[in-house]
Amino acid sequence: MKKFLIIIICLISIVGCGKKEVVPNIEKDKEEETKELTVEDYENNKVDELGEVPIMMYHGIHNKKNDETDYIGGNVDKDGYQRTSEAFINDLEMFYKNNYRMIRLTDYVDGKIDVQLGKSPIILTFDDGLENNIKVTGLDADGNIIIDPNSAVGILESFKEKYPDYNVTATFFVNGGLFNQPEYNEKIIKWLVNNGYDIGNHTYTHVDFSKASGDESIKEIGKIYSILDDIIPNKYVNIVALPFGSPYNLEHENMKYIYESTYESKTYKTKSALRVGWKSESSPFNKDFNPMFLKRIRAYDNNGEEFDIQMNFKLLENTKYISDGDTSTITIKKEDKNLLKSSPNLKVVTY
Ligand SMILES: [Zn+2]
């Protein structure tokens, strides 16, 4: 009798527990998957998807220490358009430690900001297609390019390994000389787009649009799109970095040729244009966001003044975009509701 009771109890407990455990677990998992963040989560993380986004403007990265130049900080030239590799590495460390994670410029323009809860997006751009952006030292036995670890891409690749969650990426804006390595240019461009980087348009001869004719403007833009189309069809971004930031206003008559036209029977359409910058740009969900005239931060040092890196990142401490970690929602503070663009196409959460 005792034995029989024990068996019954065991059976009941196996069947019962089995049922009880399996069913609630499934429900619990579902709950966690769709778990809505609370106001407290937003407050603790200071979520603000109407905050500002830094688009960094780099040119050359020179394999030098900061004390090997004649200028302040990591500047290689007087105006700080060229930067030392030491300073570039320090920039990348600083961005990461301040919870910035990289996103593609083209995704930002499209309003796709995929970073984790509490993290902020940052965008890297390089103008002029300088050799030191991605210096190729030769080919390996399989014909793949060997990249100088001290060039910009060499450094970026080391950060890919160091911080896998950094989401390392950048957009390179080239002229007719591409990366100025005729032997390797095509291989470089293919390698970049196959390894998470983007290529954009910086005009064929680095033209000043305020001084160019309409026909010249079309050729300057159309020719680069055409070259990229031949090497990496459909894989380049239709974004122009305006040389010298010119023309300096959207009303300029050449802007329409930067937007769209036809060059040698090929039609092109530009989705975004970048200025030579000084400060961070607004969220793509802000009503004033204009993808045709985006500001950038000049990556240079000036003792924390005149919108150098230090000054900009200090300003950003209070104004930066901070993600809710969910690409399907835009989470904003109640008081900012009037700043939101009219048809955001995503679910809006206010707190
Ligand atoms: Zn340039």
Tell me, yes or no, whether 321 lies in a domain: yes
179 Cα: distance to centroid of ligand 1 (angstroms) = 13
127 Cα: distance to centroid of ligand 1 (angstroms) = 5
Closest by Cα among 291, 307, 298 to 108: 291
| Integer angstrom CA distances of residue 148 from 91, 145, 227 | 19, 10, 25
240 Cα: distance to centroid of ligand 1 (angstroms) = 11
Number of structural domains (the chain) is 1
59 Cα: distance to centroid of ligand 1 (angstroms) = 8
Note residues around ion ligand 1 (Cβ under 5 angstroms): 127-128, 243
Closest by Cα among 85, 106, 201 to 149: 85
This prediction has a pTM of 0.90
Angle subtended by helix axes 185-194 and 214-231, to nearest 10:
70
pLDDT of 3 reads 52
Amino acid at 260: E
pLDDT of 22 reads 43
Tell me, yes or no, whether 20 lies in a domain: no
Q: Count the residues in the chain.
A: 351
293 Cα: distance to centroid of ligand 1 (angstroms) = 16
244 Cα: distance to centroid of ligand 1 (angstroms) = 6
Tell me, yes or no, whether 344 lies in a domain: no
- Rounded average pLDDT per 10-residue block, the chain, 351 residues: 48 42 45 72 97 98 97 96 98 98 98 98 98 98 97 98 98 98 98 98 98 98 98 98 94 97 98 94 97 97 97 98 97 96 92 96
CATH value at residue 77: 3.20.20.370
Closest by Cα among 237, 39, 16, 247 to 123: 237
Closest by Cα among 350, 320, 331 to 285: 331
Q: At residue 311, what are phi and psi to the nearest 5 degrees?
A: -65, -45
206 Cα: distance to centroid of ligand 1 (angstroms) = 6
Amino acid at 267: T
Tell me, yes or no, whether 249 lies in a domain: yes
Per-residue three-class SS string for 76-139? CCCCCCCEEHHHHHHHHHHHHHCCEEECCHHHHHCCCCCCCCCCEEEEEEEECCCHHHCCEEEE
Tell me, yes or no, whether 12 lies in a domain: no
Tell me, yes or no, whether 13 lies in a domain: no
pLDDT of 35 reads 67
pLDDT of 327 reads 95
141 Cα: distance to centroid of ligand 1 (angstroms) = 35
Tell me, yes or no, whether 11 lies in a domain: no
Domain that holds residue 128: 53-327
Tell me, yes or no, whether 227 lies in a domain: yes
pLDDT of 13 reads 45
